[in-house]
Structure 1
Amino acid sequence: MNLYHSLPEEIQSLIDRHKNQSRTDFEDRIGKPGYIPNQPDVIIDVIAALAHGKNVLLKGPTGAGKTKLAETLSYLFHQPLFSVNCSVDLDAESFLGFKTLDYQEGKQVIDFVPGPLVQAMKYGHFLYIDEINMAKPETLPLINGVLDYRRTITNPLTNEVIQAKEGFNVIAAINEGYIGTTRLNEALKNRFIVFELSYIQGEQLKTLIQNTTSLNDVKQINAFVQLSADLVEAARQGKVAEEAASIRALLDACDLSSIIPPKRAILRSIIDKLEEDREKEVVRNLAETLF
């Protein structure tokens, strides 16, 4: 069933009122649907927040579908999605753009190439900031004015004051507790509405495997759904790292299992990513009981 038509009528109306119907030069940046919510109210609540101009922060373990949800929201609102992938090396240019030498009418000139933040603001599109808590704390205050009621920024590279066009919104994602991450300061966190995402399970996961992977063996699909449940429980008990329960990794294993034996697919997609031998052994034992 089409995701849009599965939403309540009042949410459909909310989307329609805020939908960017115009054709743009960034049609290739409009995301594709595919997010399946573990909690049915999550996608409705995120849509409501975006439709009211709120910034959205998606929290959850790796592979829980944060990026896929952002792409699905881009699809529903028909909004191009500009992205920033944060790291400890993130600087102002990663958000704003950079200066470069160009030639116009035979003369050398300094040109400015706009970055994802500038383009999203000027065209009124979505900005997706992935792993925002990987950025250096001194970099993020740059966007405080973008995230509050002002919706403005003074570009230090050009001195241009940029006012966000209507429709501009920020969706950020965060993985808490991972190496290299830091705590978001309260001033920044207070500029977002926070949504906690968890791994999908059961029939929803079965549907996702059937719709997005090459695996069509029903018995194996059911076994992978059970493996996922076992891995989530093992991660909850501290027996394995959260990355072992990643849905993204599980889907990779399902794709490989359409060609190679499932236990080898699990080895390549899940086990070999883990650092500790005891964690590898836990996953290996779970796979042995199911396949």
Structure 2
Amino acid sequence: MSVNIPFYHPIDKEVEVFENVYQNKIPFLLKGPTGTGKSRFVEYMAHKLDKKLITISCHEETSSTDLIGRFIIKGAETIWIDGPLTKAVKEGSILYLDEIAEARPDVIVAIHSLTDHRREIYIDKLGETIKAHEDFMLVASFNPGYQRGFKELKPSTKQRFTALSFAYPEASQEIEILIQETNIDPDIAKKLVKIGNKIRNLTELGLAETVSTRLLVDAAKLIHTNLPKRLAVKVAIVEPLTDDLEIAEALTDLCNLMI
């Protein structure tokens, strides 16, 4: 049976770094804007290392109970169900906490003993301490620029991880990513990347987020399936970036001149 290998274009030494961090059983923090390939990189490395990957997309309701586990009623019995964190610790999987700063503070507390020399988790509802499997690895991602001042990781938490910053690829690399991901015509890929870089440099617009590689890939997919180029750029790039009608109109006009 064929296995789909996640496509990832290495930018620098991140593959080598990940392999060494994994070998040394150190938690790993990936920093960078949305859509720079952090999640895809983790998928790629889990495949490369032949390890099961458990991903948790953190949000403001994500609690330690969601991760560790809970008692449930089944028939006439009350039974314990392991959460994804406990499963990963026991079976030696890679646990990926995507956007960890979005989770509730008790999640950070719950993983503290996994991020130092102890590599263990205490389940207070069971009164048990579980040592992490030799192959267990904790990976988290964090967007430092998102809602700055509101959802930040404490310095003491950051220092429990090794860390690597992700940025948008160089133009030539981003063009190759679009072509590999979507089979888009190289000339159109070049135009999409130019649009992305142009908008990224328009800091005066005050956009909360800028054009991610993910948005460019989405636009390329739509164009490849024969949606008109300008419409594809509008719905995949412009509209997700802003709800301001004037800014959206200005961006649409700009993109129409470039595609």
Q: TM-score, normalised by structure 1?
A: 0.81
2:194: which partner in 1?
Answer: 226
Q: Which range moves more in the overlay, 139-148 or 124-133?
A: 139-148
Measured in 2, the distance between the counterparts of 1:82 and 1:49 equals: 18
Choose which of 92, 103, 108 in structure 2 pairs with 1:140: 108
Measured in 1, the distance between the counterparts of 2:118 and 2:4 equals: 27
1:251: which partner in 2?
Answer: 217
Measured in 2, the distance between the counterparts of 1:48 and 1:99 equals: 37
Q: Is the 8 A contact 1:31 1:75 kept in 2?
A: no
1:189: which partner in 2?
Answer: 158
Instruction: Please list, as runs of the form range in 1=range in 2, the aligned pairs for 1:71-82 lying within 5 A after superposition.
Output: 71-82=43-54
Q: Report the CA distance shift for 1:244/1:149 in structure 2 as closer, same or farther (over 3 A).
A: same
Choose which of 179, 195, 199 in structure 2 pairs with 1:210: 179
1:263: which partner in 2?
Answer: 230
* Aligned structure 1 segments of 4 or more residues deviating by more than 6 angstroms: none
Letter in 2 for 1:178: Y
Spell out, residue by residue over 1:247-278, the C-alpha distance to the aligned partner (whole angstroms, 9 max, x if none).
11111111111211111011111211212234
Q: Is the 8 A contact 1:231 1:245 kept in 2?
A: yes
Measured in 2, the distance between the counterparts of 1:42 and 1:121 equals: 24
Measured in 1, the distance between the counterparts of 2:175 and 2:145 equals: 29
Choose which of 161, 164, 175 in structure 1 pairs with 2:129: 161
Unaligned runs of 5+ in 2: none
Tell me the SS of whatever aligns to 2:209.
helix
Q: Is the 8 A contact 1:122 1:164 kept in 2?
A: yes
| RMSD over equivalenced CA pairs, Å | 2.0
Measured in 2, the distance between the counterparts of 1:55 and 1:272 equals: 36
Instruction: Please list, as runs of the form range in 1=range in 2, the aligned pairs for 1:47-66 lying within 5 A after superposition.
Output: 47-66=19-38
Measured in 2, the distance between the counterparts of 1:31 and 1:156 equals: 39
Measured in 2, the distance between the counterparts of 1:204 and 1:79 equals: 27
Letter in 2 for 1:207: E
1:51 to partner: Cα distance? 1.8
Tell me the SS of whatever aligns to 1:244.
coil
Tell me the SS of whatever aligns to 1:139.
helix
Letter in 1 for 2:32: G
1:240 to partner: Cα distance? 5.0
Measured in 2, the distance between the counterparts of 1:232 and 1:242 equals: 11
Instruction: Please list, as runs of the form range in 1=range in 2, the aligned pairs for 1:1-291 lying within 5 A after superposition.
Output: 32-38=5-11, 40-103=12-75, 108-179=76-147, 182-215=151-184, 217-234=185-202, 237-239=203-205, 241=207, 243-258=209-224, 259-273=226-240, 274-291=242-259
Higher RCO structure (Cα 8 Å, ≥6 apart): 2
Spell out, residue by residue over 1:46-101, the C-alpha distance to the aligned partner (whole angstroms, 9 max, x if none).
22222211111001110001100110110111110112221111112211122212
Measured in 2, the distance between the counterparts of 1:31 and 1:160 equals: 38
1:126 to partner: Cα distance? 0.5
Tell me the SS of whatever aligns to 2:210.
helix
Letter in 1 for 2:79: D
Tell me the SS of whatever aligns to 1:243.
coil
Letter in 2 for 1:257: I
1:242 to partner: Cα distance? 5.7
Q: Report the CA distance shift for 1:220/1:240 in structure 2 as closer, same or farther (over 3 A).
A: farther
Q: Is the 8 A contact 1:240 1:279 kept in 2?
A: no
1:207 to partner: Cα distance? 1.4
